[in-house]
């Protein structure tokens, strides 16, 4: 039988013996609690606890229904004409949620009185933080954001908060840095997807854009050891600059600071004092360095042309340093000193420069930032400065001139005298010709009784071999090895025929090798051309298809693979191009409608 809902009346406290009133000790804040109707309460966005607020709410609601609300809430009153009657709750969010559940059940009504400790907004937030810190079950992400909220008014320093809550100033600064993590990293910490240790590693820089790039890179489905400390440190180290780095030593410190550049305090490092500071805006330093390098590179190219008149251009390294990585210009091949696997020998770069000079081969030099080299009496022992230089250990030449610049081999791979390509081919034909002659000196297996269908050659030099069944997926068949002896006279008798077979085999090998090399060059050129076309696309495409079938789609929040619920990999198209391998891109379309029309056409053609 249904019963009418009744308001729960808070249980009246038991009468106590009258005691003389005592004055409150000086310096203590008043602790009076106000009874506020439930209908006027609203959860404040400043509530420091944002994680797991719904945990076990039903049992708490049942407890309140049975025993009343035993602990008051903490809140502040609205200050505008619109919300003057509202009390915003910053402490006791789970209790308020339990009251909401009781209201939904009809157990309480809007006029049900709720005890609330009302304080000014800033003080109420402090009390909420103190309450949750004392309980030690607060989600770390909520703690970080709460510290940031206390700093928001701008009238306190980290030292003030440290003194108020009993922490060290460094601890407070660390929490404020963690509060400044990119939103997706804080959300991952709240949801338990990353640990506090990992979040701390991400907080080693205050650059949210860098944090976000590295985080998204670590979230890729095929990433090995996601969010490992080593991965994050390596990614930061590759992009972050310090006062001691080559790029910063090259530029003018005053220019960097005048254009808004600053420095980061390393709050989580245990390194000894005196370590170089990190730049708060590394990209600004790179931009300044690139401007200066572009101007000085013209002078460097002129200097190089005095020694090597055939220098026709230059390439600046990716990280701007003279020893940095650089891609070969289109149609060019790299020339570098050291061991050359193709030649099977050590290459002296000085000789390569000389051959390029003697043969007037067009040269593209590599330019970057490097330490200056004191000359003669100019070397006073002071630390060398950083200037634009060209790298004498490598350069680029047109692909067709590569062989003319590289040395000829002086020795074979087995230490014998150097042979010309023609002599090497003649030796290979002679060796293979004897093998064929030996094979022709004996009957075919099909001509030997009992051997037909049971014998085959164990190596792959003859394409006519047969095997007794499929050795990979068929039943295992016992077998044994035999040796077939032939005489020199038999080989000599069949040598001419063997040589002809060897010539055909060697010629076929050369042809296949040339076809592979030509195909590789054509494929590389095609990928490069496609990549240039993709980078220059205007407007930027909104749909991109890779060879493995992944369809990358631009959404309002960024780029991600269609049909997957994972995090966005890139915020914009330029960032996506940094993630993708050019060789994986199969096609792109300006809009999703264009792609759908393309797919419909493919389906229609396939059905004909």
pLDDT tens for residues 412-430?
A: 555 556 677 888 889 889 9
**HEC per residue, 483-512:** CCCCCHHHHHHHHHHHHHHHHHHHHHHHHH
User: Higher-confidence residue: 51 or 150?
Assistant: 150
pLDDT > 90? residue 237? no
pLDDT at 469: 52
Lookup: tokens for 317: 């390294």
Length of the chain: 608
pLDDT score recorded for residue 16:
40
For 244-259, what is the mean pLDDT?
Answer: 89
Look at residue 1 in the predicted model and tell me its pLDDT.
41
Q: Mean pLDDT, to the nearest integer, of 52-73? A: 80
Residue 319: how many other CB atoms lie within 10 Å: 20
If 0-12 CB within 10 Å is exposed, 13-18 middle and 19+ buried, where does residue 161 land? buried
Mean pLDDT score, 465-474? 50
Q: Which of 253-267, 434-448, 572-586 has the lowest mean pLDDT?
A: 572-586
> What pLDDT score was predicted for residue 587?
85
pLDDT of residue 14: 42
Q: How far apart, in Å, are the Cα atoms of 316 and each of 276, 322, 356?
A: 26, 8, 21
Residue 343 or residue 459, greater confidence: 343
Give the strand pairing for 278-279 and 311-321. Answer: unpaired
Euclidean distance between CA atoms 147 and 202, whole angstroms: 18
Q: Which has the closest alpha carbon to 531: 583, 461, 576?
A: 583
Looking from the CA of 373 toward its CB, the CA atoms found within 13 Å total 4
- Cα 601–607–608 angle (5° rounding)? 95
- List, edge to edge, every strand of the sheet that includes 386-398: 311-321, 363-371, 386-398, 332-336
Question: Where is 573: in which H helix or E strand?
Answer: helix 573-579
Q: Please measure the distance between the N-terminal and C-terminal CA atoms of the chain and give it in whole angstroms.
A: 70
% helix, strand, coil for the chain, step of 5:
45, 15, 40
Query: Average pLDDT, whole number, for the chain?
Result: 80
Mean pLDDT over 251-260 rounds to 89
pLDDT for 501 beyond 80: yes
Q: Is the pLDDT of residue 375 over 70?
A: no
Average pLDDT over residues 352-369: 94
The answer to whether residues 249 and 214 touch, using CB atoms and an 8 Å cutoff, is no
Split at pLDDT 50, 70, 90, the class of 399 is very high
Do residues 321 and 371 lie in contact, with contact meaning Cβ atoms separated by under 8 Å?
Answer: no
Predicted confidence band of residue 515 (pLDDT cuts 50, 70, 90): very high
List the chain domain ranges: 34-221, 308-373+384-405, 421-518, 537-606
Check pLDDT > 60 for residue 27: no
Q: d(Cα 253, Cα 498) in Å, to the nearest integer?
A: 75
Return the pLDDT at 302. Answer: 93
**Does the predicted model carry a pTM greater than 0.75?**
no
Q: What are phi and psi of 328, to 5 degrees?
A: -65, 140
Q: What is the pLDDT of residue 168?
A: 87
Q: Cα 331 to chain center, whole Å?
A: 30
pLDDT at 374: 60
| Tokens of residue 322, six digits | 């003279």
Domain 34-221 class, CATH top level: mainly alpha
Q: How much is the average pLDDT of 526-530?
A: 83
pLDDT at residue 21, as a whole number: 37
Which whole number is the average pLDDT over 559-577? Answer: 72
Alpha-carbon distance values, 261 to 242, 264, 387 (Å): 12, 10, 21
Residue 359 has a pLDDT of: 94
More confident residue, 606 or 455: 455
Nearest to 210 by CA among 229, 233, 193, 191: 233
pLDDT for position 414: 52
pLDDT above 70 covers a percentage of the chain that reads 81
pLDDT (0 to 100) of residue 581 = 76
Least Cα distance to 186 among 55, 46, 50, 47 occurs for 50
Handedness of CA 441, 445, 450, 456 (dihedral sign): positive
What is the per-residue pLDDT for 28?
36
Bridge partners (DSSP) of residue 386 are 371
Are the CB atoms for 151 and 165 separated by under 8 Å? Answer: no
pLDDT surpassing 60 at residue 466: no
pLDDT at 541 over 60: yes
Q: What is the pLDDT of residue 465?
A: 42
**pLDDT at site 523:** 85
Angle at CA of residue 425, ends 507 and 408, nearest 5°: 120
In Å, the largest CA–CA distance within the chain is 132
Supply the Cα-derived Rg of the chain in whole angstroms: 38
Mean pLDDT within 231-257: 88
* C-alpha torsion sign, points 392, 394, 400, 406: positive
Of 1-15, 104-118, 144-158, 275-289, give the lowest mean pLDDT range: 1-15
> What does the angle CA 426 – CA 429 – CA 435 come to, to the nearest 5 degrees?
150
Distance, CA of 282 to CA of 278 (rounded, Å):
8
- Region class of 75: left (phi > 0), else alpha (psi between -120 and 50), else beta: beta
Question: pLDDT tens for residues 311-344?
Answer: 999 999 988 999 999 988 888 999 998 888 777 7
CA distances in angstroms from 188 to 44, 193, 234, 567, listed in the order given? 23, 5, 21, 11
What pLDDT is attached to residue 6?
Answer: 45
Give dist(CA 188, CA 139) in Å, integer: 12
Q: What percent of the chain has pLDDT over 90?
A: 24
The first and second tokens of residue 481, run together, are: 């090895």
The answer to whether 325 touches 319, Cβ cutoff 8 Å, is yes
The predicted structure's pLDDT at residue 53: 54
Reported confidence tier of residue 411, pLDDT bands at 50, 70, 90: low
Tokens at residue 100, please?
Answer: 């909401």
pLDDT of residue 23: 37
How many CB atoms neighbour CB 189 within 10 A?
24
């Amino acid at each position: 039988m249904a019963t009418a809902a009744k308001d729960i009346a808070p249980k009246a406290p038991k009468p106590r013996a009258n005691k003389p009133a005592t004055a409150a000790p000086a310096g203590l804040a008043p602790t009076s609690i106000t009874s506020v109707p439930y209908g006027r309460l609203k959860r404040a966005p400043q509530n420091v606890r944002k994680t797991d607020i719904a945990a076990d709410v039903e049992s708490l609601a049942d407890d309140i229904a049975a025993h009343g609300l035993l602990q008051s809430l903490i809140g502040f009153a609205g200050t505008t004409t619109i919300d003057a009657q509202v009390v915003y709750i910053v402490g006791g969010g789970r209790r308020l949620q339990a009251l909401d559940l009781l209201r939904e059940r009809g157990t309480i009504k809007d006029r049900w009185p709720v005890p609330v400790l009302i304080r000014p907004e800033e003080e109420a937030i402090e009390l909420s933080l103190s309450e949750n810190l004392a309980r030690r079950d607060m989600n770390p992400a909520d703690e970080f954001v709460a510290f940031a909220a206390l700093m928001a008014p701008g009238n306190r320093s980290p030292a003030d908060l440290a003194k108020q809550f009993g922490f060290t100033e460094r601890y407070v600064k660390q929490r404020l840095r963690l509060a400044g993590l990119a939103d997706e990293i804080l959300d991952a910490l709240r949801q338990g997807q990353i640990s506090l240790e990992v979040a701390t590693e991400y907080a080693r820089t205050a650059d949210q854009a860098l944090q976000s790039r590295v985080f998204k890179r670590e979230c890729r489905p095929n990433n090995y050891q996601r969010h490992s400390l080593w991965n994050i440190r390596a990614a930061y180290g590759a992009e972050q600059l310090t006062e001691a780095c080559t790029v910063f030593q090259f530029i003018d410190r005053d220019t960097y600071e005048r254009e808004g550049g600053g420095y980061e305090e390393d709050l989580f490092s245990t390194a000894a004092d005196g370590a170089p500071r990190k730049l708060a805006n590394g990209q600004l330093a790179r931009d300044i360095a690139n401007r200066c390098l572009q101007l000085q590179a013209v002078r460097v190219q002129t200097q190089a042309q005095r020694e090597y008149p055939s220098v026709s251009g230059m390439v600046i390294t990716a990280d701007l340093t003279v020893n940095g990585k650089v891609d070969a210009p289109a149609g060019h091949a790299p020339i570098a000193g050291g061991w050359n696997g193709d030649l099977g020998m050590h290459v002296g770069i000085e000789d390569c420069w000389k051959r390029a000079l003697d043969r007037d081969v067009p040269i593209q030099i590599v330019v970057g930032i490097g330490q200056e080299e004191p000359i003669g009496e100019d070397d006073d022992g002071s630390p060398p400065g950083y200037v634009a230089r060209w790298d004498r250990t490598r350069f680029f030449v047109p692909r067709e001139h590569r062989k003319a610049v590289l040395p000829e081999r002086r020795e074979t791979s087995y230490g014998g005298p150097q042979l010309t390509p023609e002599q090497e081919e003649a030796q290979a034909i002679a060796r293979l010709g004897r093998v064929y002659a030996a094979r022709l000196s004996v009957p075919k297996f099909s001509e030997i009784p009992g051997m037909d269908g049971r014998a085959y050659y164990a190596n792959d030099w003859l394409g006519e071999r047969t095997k007794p069944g499929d050795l990979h997926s068929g039943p295992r068949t016992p077998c044994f090895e035999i040796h077939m002896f032939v005489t020199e006279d038999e080989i000599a008798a069949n040598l001419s025929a063997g040589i002809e077979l060897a010539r055909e085999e060697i010629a076929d090998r050369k042809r296949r090798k040339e076809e592979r090399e030509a195909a590789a060059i054509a494929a590389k050129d095609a990928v490069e051309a496609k990549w240039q076309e993709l980078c220059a696309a205007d407007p930027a495409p909104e749909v991109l298809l890779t060879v493995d079938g992944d369809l990358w789609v631009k959404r309002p929040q960024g780029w991600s693979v269609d049909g997957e619920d994972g995090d966005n990999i890139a915020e914009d198209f330029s960032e996506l191009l940094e993630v993708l391998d050019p060789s994986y891109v199969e096609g792109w379309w300006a809009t999703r409608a264009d792609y759908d029309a393309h797919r419909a056409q493919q389906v229609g053609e396939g059905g004909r």
